[in-house]
Structure 1
Amino acid sequence: MDLALQLMVGFSVGMAVLLAAVLAGGHRRLELPWQSRLAGLVMLAGLAATQLGHLEFATAAEASPTRRYVVVVFLQSLGFYWLLLGVLRPEGGWRRIEWALAVAMLALALAIPLSWAVPVALALGAAAAAHLCVLVYRLRALRRWFALELKVLGLFGLMAVAVAASGLLARAGMGWYGYAWTYAALIALGFLLVGWLLLSVPDLVPKTREAVAVAYAQSTLARVDRDAMAARLRQLFEQEQIHRSESLSLATVAGMLGLSTHQLSELVNTEFGLGFPRFVRQHRVETARQMLIEEPRASVLSVGMAAGFNSQSSFYVAFKEQVGEVPGEYRRRRLAAAEPSG
């Protein structure tokens, strides 16, 4: 059996298990509708099963898609769409047609001729990616990262088109081994891309959800005392220092204020000119700045964690962005300046 194919399948299955644990556990405050969370788990399970199916393609003398394989591919395409739809839609934004889509996809997977099933499933996946790109484009005025998100979704769409094309070539008589190798490589590449995104832009989902909440908000604060709520918000962060909790989320703070998440998003944006994630990061950085000087024996990492950051990388990136230098350099410079000369 092809060793490269085995390695790609093993890597993909391992990543699917890891990401499923992240998604199920709500890591990094992934506040998603339950439909999207469930869909994400279905997608990951489907991708792992698909990769294992590719090993069967590689070992069978005359391999061709089975009905089970086809159903899995259809469901993983639907899972991909539903997962990201939950990120790019406001709360309560699920529509009836999207509920019907699940039934329609399953019925199509069971009824379509096997020879056409794979290209059709992946073409639908490409169409889903295109629709998600449209939703991301609507955030262009609110998210400086939207270009990254748009490129990632576009890349996933191109991957689906490439696999659909390889499925058509396989159906035309060029064999299913090449299709299996192509699809396995692109799934592994997709997992690698997702892993890189989670490490390099750890708060990508919260930032996007924040932009969505603001983009769809419509006069949510009409009956709210903005000044009183803004003052209470300052008290929570400046005096009670709730930002030092790593698990702090938009929903948690909204509950403290008796507001909806939409209302809190609009309040922070209109009263402070910031998105909620950036508002929290600024307070965490300010707390860390004070601790670095007041507690010179504490390690830089322990200061970052005590200020509310959940990793060294996120602490360093936020601190450098706001202060202009990394925490260790800031501490050395300030402490050196405070030493008496002579």
Structure 2
Amino acid sequence: MEIFSLAIAGFSIVIAAVLWLTYVAFLEIPGKSAHSILSCTVLLGALVALQLGHLLYFTGGPAPLATVAYRTALFVAPTSFFFFGRWALLPDEPFRPAMLLHLLPIALLLIPRLDVSLPMLFAVGAGYALWLGRLVYGLRARRKQFRFEFFWFGVMSAFGVGVLVLGFAIPYIDQAWFYHFYCNAIGAAFAIMVVALIANPDLIADLSEAARLRYGKSTLRDVDVDGLLARLAGQMADPKVYRNEALTLSTLAADLGVSGHQLSELVNTRLGMSFPRYMREHRVAAAKLMLVAEPTASILAIGMDTGFKSSSTFYAAFKEVTGQSPGDYRKANAKDS
């Protein structure tokens, strides 16, 4: 168990750095703000500090709860988790002074008895996990699009409840069991997040837009929606537009004379899908024609020519839209022709 937990702790530290860089530099999320970047940084920093504490403990170091750094990270994590979840999914919601109450869990550090403060802290953390799960569950009308994401948030909520139970059990169990469980729970959360982002790199952007549509105000009140739909269709009829791998929501919105939020809401509410899914469907439709019309062209070349950045994203998108791999689709349609 020691070796396994060591590996999980090391994996978590590396993946935390990768996830931070991905969120800050590579994920295009409408409304991503300094607040969400700061809360993401604090949350991942706290999780790294926790895993470093576990790593040192498993290699003969001090008990993590006996160190100031570990205890501080432990009490900061739930608050940063709340703020990141809030600003990542609801970036347009205004700041309210009452939100400062969510800093109170950090004040539990002042309670000298861990058998009192830790159960209270884990109760707050479990509450935040369930709050985020409920927020995402409110998007259940889109459950087909987000089936994997619902699974992920369900697992996160289950981990939150599991840690809560273990937190209450700390006075009655060997603390080593707590460290192993908590270390592996953090590692599992990171692993699930990585898999989710590989399966859908637009995961956070999709959920953010769906949450804004579900809980926020419409941005299309003063927009000629039918005219905008017609202009969008006209743009997408040009292969140069959707085959441009550098095309983004913001650049296409600027070409149409609207904001990114307006274009995203239009595609979600009128076309029934997220903007990334809309782009994938156009590119896959073009790829389907090329796979049949150009039987000697390589699948990779077709993927690149239709706007996909890599073979992996092409294969994943094609399978998502058609239920088949590009090769299987080509073979099936070649037989029919």
Amino acid at match of 1:85: R
Change (3 A) 1:193 1:218: closer
Amino acid at match of 2:18: L
* Cα deviation code 1:133-161 (max 9, x no counterpart): 22112212234244543442232233233
Identity percentage of aligned residues: 35
How do residues 1-342 of structure 1 correspond to structure 2 at under 5 angstroms?
2-27=2-27, 29-31=28-30, 32-58=32-58, 59-60=60-61, 64-89=65-90, 91-97=91-97, 99-101=99-101, 103-106=103-106, 108-115=107-114, 116-146=116-146, 148-170=148-170, 172=171, 174-216=173-215, 218-239=217-238, 241-293=240-292, 295-323=294-322, 325-332=324-331
Following TM superposition, by how much is the alpha carbon of 1:99 offset from its aligned partner in structure 2, in angstroms? 4.7
Change (3 A) 1:49 1:200: same
3-state SS, counterpart of residue 140 of structure 2: coil
**For the Cα contact (< 8 Å) 1:210–1:276, is it kept in 2?**
no
Change (3 A) 1:178 1:201: same
Tell me the TM-score normalized by structure 2.
Answer: 0.85
| In structure 2, distance between residues paired with 1:70 and 1:194 | 25
Following TM superposition, by how much is the alpha carbon of 1:184 offset from its aligned partner in structure 2, in angstroms? 1.0
Amino acid at match of 2:119: P
Change (3 A) 1:274 1:190: closer
| In structure 1, distance between residues paired with 2:92 and 2:248 | 19
Change (3 A) 1:130 1:268: same
**For the Cα contact (< 8 Å) 1:9–1:52, is it kept in 2?**
yes
| In structure 2, distance between residues paired with 1:272 and 1:63 | 51
**For the Cα contact (< 8 Å) 2:319–2:326, is it kept in 1?**
yes
* Cα deviation code 1:66-119 (max 9, x no counterpart): 333222112222222222223432x4214314751464344x144232513433
- Show structure 1 runs of 5+ residues with no match: none
**For the Cα contact (< 8 Å) 1:118–1:164, is it kept in 2?**
no
**For the Cα contact (< 8 Å) 1:281–1:318, is it kept in 2?**
yes
**For the Cα contact (< 8 Å) 1:166–1:179, is it kept in 2?**
yes
| In structure 2, distance between residues paired with 1:11 and 1:18 | 11
3-state SS, counterpart of residue 237 of structure 2: helix
**For the Cα contact (< 8 Å) 2:292–2:333, is it kept in 1?**
yes
| In structure 1, distance between residues paired with 2:137 and 2:76 | 26
| In structure 2, distance between residues paired with 1:337 and 1:155 | 44
| In structure 1, distance between residues paired with 2:63 and 2:135 | 42
3-state SS, counterpart of residue 93 of structure 1: coil
Aligned residue pairs: how many? 334
| In structure 1, distance between residues paired with 2:154 and 2:131 | 10
Amino acid at match of 2:198: L
| In structure 1, distance between residues paired with 2:316 and 2:10 | 32
Displaced runs of 4 or more, over 6 A: none
Change (3 A) 1:214 1:242: farther
The alignment's C-alpha RMSD in Å is 2.9
**For the Cα contact (< 8 Å) 1:217–1:266, is it kept in 2?**
no
Change (3 A) 1:216 1:262: farther
- Show structure 2 runs of 5+ residues with no match: none
Amino acid at match of 2:193: V
